[in-house]
């Protein structure tokens, strides 16, 4: 998780819930003091969300072994010693999260309304990295220069962790075109994976070489035809002027994104991009079920 994703998680949480409601009770017969905690449901919810970031493991880890987690219920009574340990950990977590959130709010100025985030695949050397950057240029920068889109890209910065680039998207239709290309690239990647499964099955069948070659050629022809259909679909949905050159550019972009996604690349919209455009992008949840946006398309429809 990079620093911007962490900031998004913190922004969605109700941090004051980390202050646990509690009260001390004393037993006059034994002189023992206990601490009663209330409202633990909302406390557990927030700490569970924070735990997913792995940024606060050094505090949340010990909390998970205390009575407020090992016992059920919204209220838990514990000894004074155990209770004060819990309070110290909860206070430390609350102050740490609050301080980090204030720092991020003051130092992250991201023009979210017009940016995308691109994850570069892992590279072994500068030659690989240069190739990936050139592939992204071919896949994204060239198509959005189309007169009907009139867009451009500007790299704002890199982010820590895996190599992520924050890229400013310029032009009213550029983000939509990028989203459409990403979706089509994901569709082709899914079809490639399905084709790989077919190839494995063909190898297991007792077919002669000519029959095997015919199946593989048919699969390749289908993918080529699907790329062409996807490119034409993008042109039609965005009402762009179709030229043979632009159609070829889109086909090249889709194929290039397919290969980049295969190697681990990701392209995500920023949170501030309009919802209707953000929804055009594929994401981790719908990657495996991404279908062509050409209505009722089937393999039999492509010849």
Alpha-carbon 45 to chain mean position: 22
CA distance 170 to 260: 23
CA distance 122 to 99: 33
pLDDT given for residue 296 in this prediction:
43
Domain spans of the chain, in order of start: 3-107, 112-301
Partner residues linked to 279 by β-bridges = none
What is the C-alpha R_g of the chain?
Answer: 27
269: closest CA among 181, 149, 188?
Answer: 181
Q: Cβ–Cβ contacts within 10 Å for residue 225, how many?
A: 14
Write out the chain's pLDDT in tens, 303 residues.
Answer: 666 677 778 888 888 889 999 999 988 777 789 999 998 999 999 999 999 888 899 999 999 889 888 888 899 999 999 999 999 999 999 999 988 888 777 666 554 457 888 888 888 787 888 999 999 999 999 999 998 898 999 887 776 556 788 888 988 789 999 999 999 999 999 888 887 777 777 666 666 677 777 777 888 888 999 999 999 999 999 999 889 999 999 999 999 999 999 998 999 988 778 888 888 898 766 555 567 777 544 444 554
CA distance 40 to 75: 6
Which burial class, exposed, middle or buried, applies to 265 when counting CB atoms under 10 A from its CB (0-12, 13-18, 19+)? buried
> 162: part of which helix (H) or strand (E)?
none
Token pair 């430390």 is at which residue? 92
Q: Cβ–Cβ contacts within 10 Å for residue 187, how many?
A: 23
Q: Cβ–Cβ contacts within 10 Å for residue 28, how many?
A: 6
CA distance 78 to 213: 72
CA distance 66 to 175: 48
3-class DSSP state of 123: coil
Strands of 21-27's sheet, edge to edge?
21-27, 32-38, 76-79
CA distance 226 to 240: 19
3-class DSSP state of 155: strand
CA distance 152 to 155: 10
pTM: 0.60
3-class DSSP state of 288: helix
Percent of the chain with pLDDT over 70: 86
Alpha helix stretches (DSSP H) within 150-287:
174-204, 209-237, 244-262, 275-278
């Amino acid at each position: 998780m990079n620093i911007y994703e962490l900031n998004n998680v913190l922004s969605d949480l109700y941090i004051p819930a980390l202050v646990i409601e509690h009260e001390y009770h004393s037993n006059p017969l034994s002189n023992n003091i206990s601490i009663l905690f209330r409202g633990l449901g909302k406390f557990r919810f927030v700490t569970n969300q924070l735990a997913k970031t792995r940024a606060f493991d050094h505090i949340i880890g010990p909390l998970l072994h205390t009575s407020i987690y090992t016992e059920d219920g919204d209220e838990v009574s514990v000894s004074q010693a155990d209770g004060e340990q819990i309070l110290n950990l909860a206070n430390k977590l609350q102050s740490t999260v609050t301080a980090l959130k204030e720092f991020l709010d003051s130092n992250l100025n991201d023009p979210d309304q017009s940016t995308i985030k691109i994850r570069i695949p892992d590279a072994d050397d500068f030659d690989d990295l240069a190739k990936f950057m050139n592939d992204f240029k071919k896949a994204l920068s060239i198509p959005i220069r189309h007169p009907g889109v009139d867009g451009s890209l500007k790299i704002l910065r890199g982010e820590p962790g895996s190599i992520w680039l924050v890229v400013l998207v310029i032009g009213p239709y550029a983000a939509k075109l990028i989203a459409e290309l990403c979706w089509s690239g994901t569709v082709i990647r899914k079809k490639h994976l399905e084709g790989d499964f077919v190839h494995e099955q063909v190898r297991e069948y007792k077919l002669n070489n000519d029959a095997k070659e015919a199946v593989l050629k048919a699969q390749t022809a289908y993918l080529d035809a699907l790329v062409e259909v996807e490119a034409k679909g993008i042109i039609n949905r965005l009402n762009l002027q179709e030229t043979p050159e632009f159609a070829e550019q889109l086909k090249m972009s889709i194929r290039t994104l397919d290969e980049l996604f295969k190697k681990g690349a990701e392209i995500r919209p920023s949170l501030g991009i309009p919802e209707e455009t953000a929804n055009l992008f594929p994401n981790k949840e719908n990657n495996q079920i991404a279908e062509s946006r050409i209505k009722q398309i089937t393999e039999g429809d492509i010849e």
